[in-house]
Amino acid sequence: MSSDSGQDVRPDSVATKTARSTSPPWIDESTLLERAYRLAEEAHRAQTRATDGRPFLDHVVEVATFLHDAAFDEDLVAAGLLHDAVERGTLSEEELRDEMPENISSLVLVLSEDSTIESFGDRKAALREQVRTAGGRALTVFAADKLSDICGLRRGIEAFGSSVEARIGTTVHSMAGHYRESVMVIESERPGSAFLPALRVQIELLAAESAAVQ
């Protein structure tokens, strides 16, 4: 992993093989969400998050839960479950399009980074711009994702201290900067976002905690 990769995925470990996520009960109420959860589970089954060491599936379920609890429709919740399945998981774009309606698969791809951009800063900037350009629904899932990301990085700092940087392959300062710029995009393009109040609180807490690992 290069020093600016920022790839928040690690191979599975013995410890996590016995600690699988359990799907929230509301997923069973929708055929679409059951299918999206199954795809997410398959895409991320051998992964843990570099930031906090939890199963990667926990992250996408957390994003979907934020969207569900904020009463967004099931298409957005499904996109939340799948938003990292192509970019960081094992699901191909073709498989995604075969399994999911076009509106969901297109949204997931908008939320996926361009892996051909090597620089961490440039890659994250390109992601923010493509989400900003897509607007509306993409920004909503992006906001829920950033909320989960910030919480995950804060958990990682608490658990691993300065060694979290070796785990994530970039500096906490760089990651926190991306998150702050992401929040600025959401504030500018989606000022009424249901997630902005929590994002503002979490980004300030992250700023204070990241100073300790400088």
> Domain coordinates of the chain in residue numbers?
10-213
Predicted confidence band of residue 17 (pLDDT cuts 50, 70, 90): very low
**Quick one: pLDDT at residue 9?**
61
**Quick one: pLDDT at residue 46?**
87
Q: Alpha-carbon distance 205 to 197, whole Å?
A: 13
Nearest to 59 by CA among 49, 68, 50, 69: 49
Taking the alpha carbons at both ends of the chain, their separation in whole angstroms is 21
Contact 162, 55 (CB under 8 A): no
Residue 35: pLDDT above 80?
Answer: yes
Contact 79, 107 (CB under 8 A): yes
Residue 19: pLDDT above 50?
Answer: no
Burial, 32: exposed, middle or buried (Cβ in 10 Å; 0-12, 13-18, 19+)? middle
In CATH, which of 1.10.1040.10, 1.10.760.10, 3.10.20.30, 1.10.3210.10 is domain 10-213? 1.10.3210.10
**Quick one: pLDDT at residue 213?**
82
Model's pTM, two decimal places?
A: 0.91
- Portion of the chain with pLDDT greater than 70, in percent: 90
Contact 147, 202 (CB under 8 A): yes
pLDDT tens digit string along 156-171? 999 999 999 999 999 9
Residue 48: pLDDT above 80?
Answer: yes
Which amino acid, 195?
Answer: F
